[in-house]
Amino acid sequence: MATSTTDPKLGAPKLDRPELQAGGGTATAAAEARKLEYLNTTLTKYLKSIYDDVHTRYALGTKEGRSKWLLEEQQSPEADGELLQDGTFSHFSNYFMSESSSVLKTVLPVDESYPISNYFISSSHNTYLTGNQLSSESSVDAYKNVLLRGCRCVEIDVWDGEPPSSSSSEDEAASAGIPKVKKEKPELSIRKRLELRFGRKGSPPKEENSSHSQQSPPGDDKIALWRSNSSYRAEPRVLHGYTLTKDTPFRAVCATIRDYAFVTSNLPVIVSLEVHTSPEQQDIMVEIMTEYWKGMLVDLDPSQHSDSLELPKLKDMKNKILVKVKYTPPKPTTQVQPATLQAPAEPVKPIASASTTSSSSEDVPETEKKPSAPKPKITEALSRLGVYTRAYHFKSLDQPEATIPTHVFSLSEKALMEVHETQGPALFKHNKNFFMRAYPKGLRLNSSNLNPSVFWRAGVQIVALNWQRWDGGMMQNEGMFAGTNGWVLKPEGYRSSSKEETQKTAILHHNMDLSIEFLAGQDIPMPPEEDDPKDFKPYVKVELHVEKHEELEGEPIPGGGKSKAPEYKKKTKTQRTPNPDFGKEILKFEGIRRVTEELTFVRFKVMDDQRLSDDLAAWACFRLDRLQPGIRMLHLYDSNGVITKGVLFVRIRKIVSVAK
């Protein structure tokens, strides 16, 4: 798959051990990634000095001394003392080469006893894309990649398949594994290419000649084409509509989700459907999903589909796929007409411009919508799959659907910020009980991300991010979900069982003093553009992402929730080697107010000092309550989000007190 040559933050999914790539879940669960094979001379020098001091003050030769040091300075469990054994320097070193010395605190198993709306969920936006929003490829590998990295909510934009023809038969054969013979084509303008791609979407299929109708394409039956008794029928495809993104078969996407949804976790996966298909193609969608996800879909008697259906507990949804799709109320039985897959489809007219790239447009408030052709109505058969995640068009928090337990509202970042400013307390109250999804605005053509912590602090469960891009948004997503199974229980005041009514009172706010002493670094990865260690000039930038005053008061938030530079940031002096000696340099953040430990993030960025623009070399991001104090190894991801053997050797002091 192609990667962007102009934007280093964009890249194709990593297929080699994706569980070691950050994102939002299981990457840090790979124990071997948190172990060191050796300690270089600079780290050993500092470690020997620390050992002499600790041994003198705590008598590490005794079990009581080892336990006291772990409790008082490391704030670690007594069980870690087993690594120290007899307290010699050799075993002291073994402790720091193990995952027990990691800055990241071990995450306890999630409490699964709450309704599913009581959790933050690691979520992806336009999951099928491998790069930017306009011209990148769609790929089933993207679904495999994010699911193995802990993502628990994926998105599928589904469009009508091309009608069978000589050319589309070649495409079908290619999807089934038959090499496609390349033909010379005249160069077409973007306008013409868009017309050819979308101009006849939804048109009825043509009959194939006898030579086509009597043959079946060979290949893996997992992605075999749907067929009638007499001819091939186009199947739905997945792509970003009205752009030049390359499509991929809907059937292949469903097969990939089936195969990888529960490899790393048995907690449920939400599939957010953005449906642009005709009724006939929707019937095929239902057929494919029920075939491939058999036993995974929630199975309820139709009589249970009522507005009073309560959300289940997380523990009751294990190994289940929840389909988020727009709700269509059932018609009276006497009016239901059986659908036929051979009936001609109603054509879906394309909009006039190719610039509309926003996802989930049916959920955008009227004030933000741009004129476009009406979307196809969702059939009852497809709508019935959305049992606990029924999508409704959002008008206001006062609309009748806002009290239905199973409803989901999806809003763009801009629309959600407007609701936050005008109905802050109502928004918070709504999100304690019901699902809400936030997604990046359509103008983020380079797949950049919103600032997710702003929306988490408003109680939004599903903050969909572009996993195709490495930026502050995705780094915070890793900080929220690192080491988890992609579902994180909200703070107590954010849950449906709490009586707290506002974001301001829902969680304790603290004052904090944070001190980070940098001792040394080992094997720090260099930026992709740098290949000579002698030219690598690293420094570490530390950023705090703290709740702003405007968030608490329901005022307009600076930047509108965009991923902007944080208010608090400091950096070390520049070094000149991948194995730097920082000389015990200390960065201090004193008297920081409005700190909520569960919703504040600390980000470390190792930058390459350049004359014009500094390049990102490595990074790490932690939720404040998981940032362990003491003498620690801070393990680094490279600029493409892959865990490395690079570490920073640091001493962290953190004092948190209740704000008065």
Judge contact between 289 and 258, C-beta under 8 A: no
Residues 469-483 have pLDDT tens digits of 889 999 999 999 998
Range in 53-57, 246-250, 349-353 with the lowest mean pLDDT: 349-353
Judge contact between 453 and 595, C-beta under 8 A: no
Range in 28-32, 428-432, 557-561 with the lowest mean pLDDT: 28-32
Instruction: Give the Cα separation of 654 and 103 in Å (integer).
Output: 12
pLDDT of 364: 44
Most confident of 301-315, 342-356, 365-379, 456-470: 456-470
Range in 108-112, 171-175, 538-542, 620-624 with the lowest mean pLDDT: 171-175
- CATH class of the domain comprising 116-161+236-330+345-494: alpha beta
What's the whole-model pTM score? 0.84
User: Percent of the chain having pLDDT more than 70?
Assistant: 77
pLDDT of 551: 86
pLDDT of 304: 67
Q: Does residue 168 carry a pLDDT above 90?
A: no
Q: What is the overall mean pLDDT for the chain?
A: 83
Instruction: Give the Cα separation of 85 and 87 in Å (integer).
Output: 6
Q: Does residue 517 carry a pLDDT above 60?
A: yes
Residues 412-432 have pLDDT tens digits of 999 999 999 999 999 999 999
CA-nearest of 103, 101, 104, 153 to 126 is: 153
Q: What is the mean pLDDT of residues 74-89?
A: 92
Confidence of residue 550 (pLDDT cuts 50, 70, 90): confident
pLDDT of 444: 84
Overall fold of domain 508-660: Immunoglobulin-like (2.60.40)
pLDDT of 165: 55
Q: What is the mean pLDDT of residues 96-100?
A: 94
Q: Does residue 376 carry a pLDDT above 80?
A: no
> How many angstroms separate the most distant Cα atoms in the chain?
89
Q: What is the mean pLDDT of residues 30-57?
A: 92
Judge contact between 376 and 278, C-beta under 8 A: yes
- Identity of the amino acid at 611: R
pLDDT of 163: 65
Instruction: Give the Cα separation of 207 and 229 in Å (integer).
Output: 12
Q: Does residue 438 carry a pLDDT above 50?
A: yes
pLDDT of 11: 55
Q: What is the mean pLDDT of residues 86-98?
A: 96
Instruction: Give the Cα separation of 450 and 153 in Å (integer).
Output: 17
Q: Does residue 363 carry a pLDDT above 50?
A: no
pLDDT of 162: 80
pLDDT of 362: 41
Delimit the domains of the chain by residue range: 36-97, 116-161+236-330+345-494, 508-660
**Residues sharing a CB contact under 8 Å with residue 660, sequence separation 6 or more, in sequence order:** none
Instruction: Give the Cα separation of 636 and 141 in Å (integer).
Output: 25
Residues 621-637 have pLDDT tens digits of 999 999 999 999 999 99
